[in-house]
């Protein structure tokens, strides 16, 4: 576990979506340890409760981010409790194996509703509050947001969209002092492969293949990713905006 020595986030409020597992859970813990109040968002109340049990600074909010009213309700919950939103971490996302010959409209919509529309509507709902405090947005993309992913092209396309939203919002919101960046992790231990409906045997095979292709020789741990999400959001990171930072053990270089 990566410890943080500073409390630069004391009194600040972070919304972290997808906080019931994987990268989102580690991110909620990392921000809470840095002194932030964290609203941990996801669907499963038990998973969120486990996240929150690690730190008193974490409060949970259970909702489906694909529902059109959820983004505003999430933002209202943070404002109702703490009166401000300093950081929005758009982390909730899903992957889907969907080769072109099995591609459906419903399959595309399910991916884009969660990976593109929900982060957009959350950013929209949080915007007036971010403006007030010159806050920041961190979008969680993927190394496959900027490299091909045969067999899961629409996942890659949804993350490419998120990266382009990041760059466009960074310029659009710069005059408000709002920084917008993205973190693009490579294969990281989480519940993502199981959530995609893959069998245990298939997951094990994918993990072995990925580890073999990554120059540093292993998949990442959620804490290793969360540390950089915190750094992108850190108020001390004053002149960085519109960037996509890849954390993938060197996979992108291969």
Ligand X SMILES: NC(=O)c1ccc[n+]([C@@H]2O[C@H](COP(=O)([O-])OP(=O)(O)OC[C@H]3O[C@@H](n4cnc5c(N)ncnc54)[C@H](OP(=O)(O)O)[C@@H]3O)[C@@H](O)[C@H]2O)c1
47 forms part of the interface with ligand X (CB under 6 A)? yes
User: 60, 96, 136, 142: which one contacts ligand X (CB under 6 A)?
Assistant: 142
Helical (H) or strand (E) element with 134? none
- Distances 126 to 41, 94, 143, 149 between C-alpha atoms, Å: 14, 22, 26, 32
Q: Which is nearer to ligand X, 57 or 145 (CB)?
A: 145
Q: What mask, x for binding ligand X by CB under 6 A, covers residues 190 to 229?
A: xxx--x----------------------------------
**In this chain, which of 4, 12, 14, 24 binds ligand X, going by CB under 6 A?**
24
2, 8, 43, 108: which one binds ligand X (CB under 6 A): 43
Which span (41-49, 81-89, 130-138, 230-238) binds ligand X, by CB under 6 A?
Answer: 41-49
The token pair that represents 220 in the structure block: 């990442």
The full DSSP string for 73-130 is HHHHHHHHHHS---EEEE---------GGG--HHHHHHHHIIIIIHHHHHHHHHHHHH
Question: What does the block give as tokens for 83?
Answer: 């009166």
- The single residue listed with the structure tokens 């890659």 is 156
Contact present, 90 and 145 (Cβ < 8 Å): no
Please give the Cα distance from 246 to 15 (Å, whole number).
22
Stretch of 1-9, 28-36, 76-84, 184-192 lying at the interface with ligand X (CB under 6 A) = 184-192
Active site residues: 155
Could you say which residues in the range 66-105 bind ligand X, by CB under 6 A? 66, 91-95
Q: How far is the CB of 142 from ligand X (least distance, A)?
A: 3
- Would you say how long the chain is, in residues? 254
CB 68 within 8 A of CB 33: no
Choose which of 71, 135, 185, 249 interacts with ligand X (CB under 6 A).
185
- Using CB under 6 A as the binding rule, whether residue 20 contacts ligand X is answered as yes
Residues forming the site for ligand X (CB under 6 A): 18, 20-24, 42-44, 47, 64-66, 91-95, 114, 140, 142, 185, 187-188, 190-192, 195
């Amino acid at each position: 576990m990566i410890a943080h020595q500073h409390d630069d986030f004391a009194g600040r409020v972070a919304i972290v979506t997808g906080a019931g597992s994987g990268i989102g859970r580690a991110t909620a813990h990392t921000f809470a340890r840095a002194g932030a109040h964290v609203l941990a968002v996801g669907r499963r109340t038990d998973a969120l409760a486990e996240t929150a049990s690690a730190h008193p600074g974490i409060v949970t909010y259970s909702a489906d981010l694909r529902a059109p009213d959820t983004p505003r309700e999430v933002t209202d919950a943070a404002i109702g409790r703490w009166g401000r939103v300093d950081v929005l971490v758009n982390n909730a996302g899903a992957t889907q194996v969907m080769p072109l010959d099995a591609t459906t409209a419903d399959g595309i919509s399910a991916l884009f509703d969660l990976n593109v529309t929900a982060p957009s509507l959350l950013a929209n709902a949080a915007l007036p509050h971010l403006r007030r405090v010159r806050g920041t947005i961190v979008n969680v993309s993927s190394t496959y947001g900027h490299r091909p992913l045969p067999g899961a092209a629409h996942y890659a396309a949804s993350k490419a969209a998120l990266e382009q939203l990041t760059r466009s919002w960074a310029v659009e919101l710069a005059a408000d002092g709002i920084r917008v960046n993205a973190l693009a992790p490579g294969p990281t231990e989480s519940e993502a492969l199981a959530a995609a409906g893959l069998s245990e045997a298939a997951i094990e095979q994918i993990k072995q293949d990925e580890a073999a292709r990554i120059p540093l020789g292993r998949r990442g741990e959620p804490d290793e990713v969360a540390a950089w999400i915190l750094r992108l959001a850190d108020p001390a990171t004053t002149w960085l905006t519109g960037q996509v930072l890849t954390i993938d053990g060197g996979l992108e270089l291969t």
